[in-house]
Each structure stands twice: as C-alpha cells, then as structure tokens.
Structure 1
Amino acid sequence: MNQTFTRKGRMSQFLMILVPILITQLAMFSMTFFDTMMSGQFHYIDLAGVAIGSSLWVPVYTGLSGILFAITPIISQSIGAKDQQNVSFSVFQGIYTGFILSILVYGLGFIGLDPFLQALDVSDETRYISKNYLLALSLGIFPLFLYTVLRSFIDALGLTRVSMFITLIALPLNIAFNFIFIFGPFGLPAFGGIGAGIATSLTYWFILIITIFIIKNGERFRPYRIFTGFPPPSFVKIKEILIIGIPIGLSIFFETSIFSAVTLLMDDFGDTVIAAHQAALNFASFLYMIPLSVSFALTIVVGFEVGANRIQDARSYARMGIVTAVLFAFISGIILYIGKDSISLLYSRNTEVVALTSQFLLYAVFFQLSDAIQAPVQGALRGYKDVNVTFIMTLISYWVIGLPLGYVLSSQTSLGPFGYWIGLIAGLTAGAITLSTRLHIIQRKRLSLIIEKKGVPNE
C-alpha cells in the first residue's frame, strides 16, 4: 500500500483492496452456500441437519478465526511504521496460535457435541446428519485456521488479489466435491448432507497447500522471509495477539452465535421451519459478505494510516467505507424483495419450505441497512486496535437486546418464528448506533492527540 494525497487516490486504493476481498469472501462463503443449497436439493431433512451442524460450527469457527484476525491490524500498523522485521515474526506467532486454537476446538467437540445434540428437540435422522456433518468438517479445522493466519498476512500487505485468486481456484473444486459426496454419481455412495462436510474439509486442505506454495515462491513475499526460518513461540507476542484478538473473536462470536442460537431455539417449530429459516439466513448471510468485506478492507487501510499517524486519512477511509456499504445495502434489499420466491426455490422443492423461506426473506431485507453500518464501523475500530469496548457493545446489542426481544415476540405473540427475526433486526440496529458513536469518539481522541504533539494532523 502507498500513502494517498487525494480523495480520488484513496478511493482508488480502497477499491483495489476491497474488490478482491469481496470476491474472496463471496467465494469462501459460497462453500457454505453450496453445502446448504445442494444438501436441500438432496432432501429437506439433510438441509435441516446441515442447518443444525452449521449453527454449531459457524460461531465457533468465526469466533476463533476472529482471534487470528488480530494479525491484520498488527501487520498493517507494522508496515505503516516501516517495521518489516516484526511482520514475519508476527505471522509465525499467529500460526502457533492457530495450532493451539485447533486443539481447543477438537477438545470442545469431543466433550460437548453429543450432549448438545441430544438436548435438541429434532428428529433422530436430523441429529445423525448434524453430528456426522460436523465430524467430517472437523478434518479441515487445522488447515482452515492456518490459512486464516496466512490470508491475514497477505491481505495486510494490500495483496488482496492473491487471496482472491486462491479462493476462486478452490470454489469450483468445492462444488465438484459436493456433487460427488452428496449425490454419489457414477455408482459412488451418496452421503447427502454429510458429504458436504467431507467436500468442505478437502477444499480447506487444498487452499492451505496452494497458499503456502504462493508465499514461498511469490516475489512480493520474499522480503518477509516467512518460511525461511522457524522462530520459537513467543509468549509475549502470542499474548499481544490474544489481547487484540480475543475481543475481536468474542465480538464476531456474539454476532454470529445469535443467529445460530435462533436456529437452535426454532427446534420447537419442527424440521420444516428450521430448513426454511436456514435457507433464508444462508442467502442473507451471502449478501452480508459485502459489508463484511468492506469491514476487512477498512481494517487494512485504517490500520495502515493509523500506524503512520495520518488520522485524517484514516477518518476519510472510514467514511468512504460506510457510504459504499450503505449503497450496496439498498441494492441487496431490492434483490431480496423482488427475487424472494426465485431465491427460495434454490434451496428446496418442498412447497411448504419454499413458502416459509420467501416470508423469512422479507424480514432479511431490513437486515441490510444495519449490517451496512455496523460491520464497516467494526472494521475501522479494529484498524485503531480498539476492540474491548466494541466487544461489550456487541454483546449488549445482540444478547441483551436482540435475542430476549426475539424470544418474547416468538413465544408471546402470534408472530411465531418470525418474532426471532424482528429481534435480530432490533439487535443489529442497536449495534449500528452504539458502534458508530464509539468510532466518532475514538477518531476525535486520536486526532486531538496528534494535534497536541505536532500541531497539524497528517504531518
């Protein structure tokens, strides 16, 4: 990345970083998207089973991966401060942290998976598919976490097109694996929803191998000497990663887990409602990749400018990112409203599931604006390494406001399962308001400090 001096220059650099991230995120999420959609085409019970399994996996994965996202602002600020030596060291400490987190996931799964699934009021067949989908998926945990660290390094350098290239290669392979393991063509066994877990694990290993190959041989990565030596674990550096990363991970966990909690609480409404809810949520989450990508891009550019003490430029990037996400939100809302029936048919041919999915998608229209504000704001705050207060705000917005309100509306009114979606909308809106206020406060504080020290910001 380079310092920019005009609004046009900042927009150009921002888009050069954002577009590849967006394509990468859409491609990465497409693996879950195709898992869900193709499982639903096999049978709606498989769709329900994958829905339960995904609801357990996604918050665990995103929360722990969020810890590893600490690598991005650490490296961005190091590059902005021209501290190249710290980059390679930080990447390796991130790899060690990813290994530890992988072991943690296996331990949690071994202890808690069976008791948790037994506590759910779902059919035995749905429970069986959920368990074995997760067991198959667990084979890809280790490569996925290591890839997350390496991708954070690549993106922090501003080389987001490399991540895009890797993911675009992997996506058609994942679709092919899904077809083979879900439907069992050419006389092969058909695993249904369980096959989606097998396919995704194989794809994660492929992504990791390709990423290591590119970093070892790419000209742009050689100055950082990532795999030329293996420094021992540094508890000081791992502690820094955890101090920054745990609040990020918890923020992401509480955001994603509320959607999973709603899916699990819907077990009272039966497999059909769970399947329809998961289908609508899956597509809404696909659209969420837009503001999430803006968030990742803002962490990179804001972190770079903050590291160089160019606070006005960091502030300009934040505004640019939020406006971009809001414009996309209006387009996404229109797509959902107009195409809800066609979208529903992508997931199932069961008429009841299709009808319910279409209704859920109407509520998803209102997710878009709140997501378009709160996700980019969180990304900007991470660029400042401001993560602790963000975590608390996220916890209150989603779990103190959103989920309890959804439960009351669902159980005490005629809204039924749709009450949970209204609660989710309320939580997202509260998060957007509180996080925006926090960003404004941080920006003013940092600008005041620069003015005190130098008299004029950005110099």
Structure 2
Amino acid sequence: MKQTFTLREKTKLIFILLVPILITQLGMFSMVLFNTIMSGKYNSSDLAGVAIGSSIWNPIFTGLSTILLAVSPIVAQRFGEKKEEDVSAVVKNGVILAILIGIMVIILGMFLLNPFLDQMNLENAVREPAYNYLVGLSFGIIPLFVYNVLRSFIYALGKTRVVMVILLSALPLNLFLNYTLIFGNLGFPELGGAGGGYATAVTFWFILGVTIFIIKTKEPFAAFHVFSRSLQFSLAKCKEILKIGVPMGLSTFFETSMFAVVTIFLSQYSVTTIAAYQSALNIVSFLYMIPTSISMALTVLVGYEVGARRYKDAKIYSWLGIYLSMIIALVTGLCIVLFRDEVAGIYSDEAAVISLTAHFLIYALFFQISDALQVTAQAALRGYKDVNIAFIMTLIAYWAICLPVGYVLANFTEMGATGYWLGLTIGLLAAGLGLSSRLLYIQKTKYNPQVSVSGE
C-alpha cells in the first residue's frame, strides 16, 4: 500500500484492492451456491435441509471468524506506524487462536447439535440432510479459521490478488466434489445435500495448504517468518486481537443469527416457503459480496491511514467507500427486481418455489441499499478500531428492531412470510444510520483531520 494524494488516486486504490477481494468473496460464496443449487436439483427436502444447516452454521462461522479478522486492522495500523516487527507476532497468535476456537466449536457441536435440531421439530426428510451437512462441514472448521487469519495478513499487506488466485484454483475442486458427492457420480457415494458439506471441508484443507505454501516461500510474506519454529505465544497479542475481534465478532453474529432466527421462524411454513426464502436470500447474499468486499478494503485502507496519522485521508476513504457501496447496491437491486423471475428459475425447477422466490425478491432493492450502508459504515469504524459502540448498535438494530417488527408483520398481518423481509430491511437500515452517525462523531472528535499529516 502507499499514500495517495487525490480523490482519483484513492478511488483507484480502492478498486485495486476491491476487485481481487470481490472475486475471492464471490468464489467463497460460490461454494455455498454450488451446495444450494445442486441440493435443490437433487430434491426440495435436501435443499431445505442445507438451508437449515447453513442457518445454524453461518452465525457461528461468521461471528467467530470475524474475531480472527481483527488481525487485518491491527496489522494495517502497524504498517501505517512502520512497526513491521510486530506483524509476525500478531499473525502467529492469530493462528493459535484460530486453532483453539476451531477445537472449541467441534467439541460443542458434538454435544449440542442433536438437541438443537430436536427443538426445531423438523420433518425427518429435512432434519437428516441438515445434520449430515453440518457433520461434513465440521471437518473443515479448523483449516477455515486458520485460513481467515492468514487471509487477513495477506490483505493487510495489500496483496489481495494472491488470495484471489488461491481461491479460484480451489473452485474447480469444490465443484467436482459437489457434483460427485451430492449425486453419487463417477463411483462416489450418493450423499445428497450432505455431500456439499464434505466437499466444502475438503476444499478448505486444500486452500489452507496452498496459502501456507505461499506464505512460507514467496515474498513479501516469507520475510515475516510466520511459520518459523518459534511460536512466540504472547498473551498481550492475543488480548489485543480479542479486544478488537470480540466486539466485531458479536456484531457479525447478531446480524447473521438474525437471519438464522428468521429461517427457524419460517420452518413452521411449508417446504416450498423454506426453499423459496433460502433461494431469495442466497441471491441477495451473493450480491452482498460487493459491499462486503468494499468493506474489507475499507478497513485496511482506513487502518493504514489512521496508523500513519493521516486522518483526513482516512475520512475521505471512509465516505468514498460508503457512497460507492450504496450506488452499486442501487444498481444491482434494480436489476434483481426487474429480472426476478429469471433469476429465481436458477435455483429450482418447481413452479411454486420459483413464484414465491420471485415475490420475495421484490424487496431486494431496499434490502440491498440498507445492507450496503451498514456494512461499509461498520468497516470504516473497524479501521479506526472503534468497535464497542458498533456492537451495541447492531445488537439493538437486529434484535430489538428487526426481529420484533418482522415477527409482528408476519404473524399479525396478512403479509405472512413476506413480513420477515420487510423486518430485515428495517433492521438493517436502523443499523446503517446508527453506525454512520457514530462514524461522523469519532471523525469529528477523536480523529479530526485538523491534526492530519497528509500531504494533501
């Protein structure tokens, strides 16, 4: 990364970081997309089972992995402060935390998964693929968490293309394994929706292996000796990661668990409704990768400028990223609304599922804009390492506004399942407005551009 002096240079640098991150995020999401589409082509029950399994796994994965993504703003600020010697220690301790967290999740899952599924009162045709999907996925938990730490390290160095190449090299393997394990092709066992879980786990191990090889052998990564014999365990470094990462993880957990709870509420509806909701959610989530990618670039850039005490640059990057994200969300949202019937047909061959999915997608435009605002405002705050107030704001927005509003609209009006979509949109908009206000406040009081040392 380098210092920029004009708005044009800043926009160019955002895109230089953004495009590889976006391709990587789309690639990661493609694994879920492969699971969902192929499970839907297998049968509706397996699609619903994968939907339930994903709704349980996503809050756990995103919440805990976001804790580990705290490595990114910490390392970015170290670069801005020109304290490169601390980078290796931060990454090593991030890897240690990733392994410990992965082991904890596996142990808890062994005891809690069955009782949790029992409480949902699912049809056996849905419960069985949901359980088996999560079991298959569990074999990839540790490599996935470690990879997220290493990915954060690579992003903080500004080498986003490296991660993109690694991920793209893994997609053919994931697609092949989904094709063989879900349908039982080429002599492989026919596992249905559960096959997607095992396919994803094997892919995570492949991705981690390639990432470790590159970090050990290629510059500039090899110079940091992340995998040297000395573990350099540091309680202080672990505390620093957790101090920033835990509020980040909780904020993400509250968002993703909000979607998970909505999925659970929808389990009282028909298999068609569950499948349609999951299909619509996958479509908007796929497009959500764009503002998510902008947010990842934003956290690194803002963190780098804050570390260098170029507060004016940090402020410009913050709002440039937010505006860019919302404009793109507006365009993609309009496209989804206009072509909702054609898009819905990608996920299912059943007319009822296609029709209901297209109906849900009518709300995609406002949903997309609200989501883009909240994710990029939160990312800018993470670059400033201001995470505690954001955690409180997201808790209120998602659980005190979104879910109650969605539940009331779904159960006490004629909207039915559609009410949950409107509730989600209102909750995300409340989060976006609150986080944006917080960003304005800290930029005015704690990181005032008047003390910037920028060359602008």
Shift of 1:72: 0.3
Structure 1 residue identity aligned to 2:265: L
Q: Which moved more, 1:158-167 or 1:343-352?
A: 343-352
Rounded to whole Å, the distance in 2 between the matches of 1:24 and 1:421 is: 28
* Equivalent pair of 1:92/1:230 in contact (CA under 8 Å): no
Name the SS for the 2:446 alignment partner.
helix
Rounded to whole Å, the distance in 2 between the matches of 1:30 and 1:45 is: 21
Q: Which moved more, 1:350-359 or 1:375-384?
A: 350-359
Rounded to whole Å, the distance in 2 between the matches of 1:23 and 1:9 is: 22
Equivalence for 2:110:
110
Rounded to whole Å, the distance in 2 between the matches of 1:360 and 1:339 is: 13
Matched, 1:205 2:201: no
Name the SS for the 2:268 alignment partner.
helix
Equivalence for 2:60:
60
Matched, 1:223 2:226: no
* Equivalent pair of 1:272/1:353 in contact (CA under 8 Å): yes
* Equivalent pair of 1:122/1:271 in contact (CA under 8 Å): no
Rounded to whole Å, the distance in 1 between the matches of 2:365 and 2:44 is: 24
Deviations 1:56-88 (A, max 9, x none): 000100000010011001100001111011000
Q: Which moved more, 1:71-80 or 1:339-348?
A: 339-348
Matched, 1:10 2:28: no
Cα distance change, pair 434–153 in 1 and its aligned pair in 2 (3 A): same
Structure 1 residue identity aligned to 2:277: H
Count residues in correspondence: 455
Shift of 1:37: 1.0
Q: Which moved more, 1:318-327 or 1:158-167?
A: 318-327
Shift of 1:2: 0.7
Equivalence for 2:327:
327
Name the SS for the 1:432 alignment partner.
helix
Equivalence for 1:136:
136
Deviations 1:272-303 (A, max 9, x none): 11111001101110010011111100000000
Equivalence for 1:296:
296
Matched, 1:348 2:348: yes
Rounded to whole Å, the distance in 2 between the matches of 1:92 and 1:427 is: 37
Rounded to whole Å, the distance in 1 between the matches of 2:163 and 2:443 is: 30
Deviations 1:317-361 (A, max 9, x none): 111111211121122112211221111111111111111111111
Equivalence for 2:454:
458
Q: Which moved more, 1:378-387 or 1:266-275?
A: 266-275
* Equivalent pair of 2:89/2:232 in contact (CA under 8 Å): no
Structure 1 residue identity aligned to 2:366: F
Rounded to whole Å, the distance in 2 between the matches of 1:221 and 1:293 is: 22
Name the SS for the 1:269 alignment partner.
coil
Rounded to whole Å, the distance in 2 between the matches of 1:447 and 1:392 is: 21
* Equivalent pair of 1:81/1:307 in contact (CA under 8 Å): yes
Equivalence for 1:177:
177
* Equivalent pair of 1:122/1:270 in contact (CA under 8 Å): no
Equivalence for 1:156:
156
CA RMSD of aligned residues (A): 1.2
Rounded to whole Å, the distance in 2 between the matches of 1:441 and 1:215 is: 39
Shift of 1:363: 1.5
Shift of 1:231: 2.4
Equivalence for 1:188:
188
Structure 2 residue identity aligned to 1:9: E
Rounded to whole Å, the distance in 2 between the matches of 1:11 and 1:179 is: 40
Rounded to whole Å, the distance in 1 between the matches of 2:47 and 2:68 is: 30
Deviations 1:81-138 (A, max 9, x none): 1101100000000001101110121122122111110111321121011001000000
Equivalence for 1:388:
388
Q: Which moved more, 1:294-303 or 1:266-275?
A: 266-275
Shift of 1:218: 0.8
Structure 2 residue identity aligned to 1:413: T
Rounded to whole Å, the distance in 2 between the matches of 1:329 and 1:361 is: 14
Equivalence for 1:412:
412
Structure 1 residue identity aligned to 2:305: E
Rounded to whole Å, the distance in 1 between the matches of 2:231 and 2:122 is: 49
Equivalence for 1:95:
95
Shift of 1:457: 4.8
TM-score (norm 2): 0.98
* Equivalent pair of 2:405/2:423 in contact (CA under 8 Å): yes
Name the SS for the 1:348 alignment partner.
coil
Rounded to whole Å, the distance in 2 between the matches of 1:4 and 1:188 is: 53
Structure 2 residue identity aligned to 1:201: A
Matched, 1:377 2:377: yes
Rounded to whole Å, the distance in 1 between the matches of 2:335 and 2:27 is: 19
Equivalence for 1:248:
248
Rounded to whole Å, the distance in 2 between the matches of 1:199 and 1:391 is: 34
Equivalence for 2:23:
23
* Equivalent pair of 1:51/1:275 in contact (CA under 8 Å): yes
Rounded to whole Å, the distance in 2 between the matches of 1:250 and 1:88 is: 26
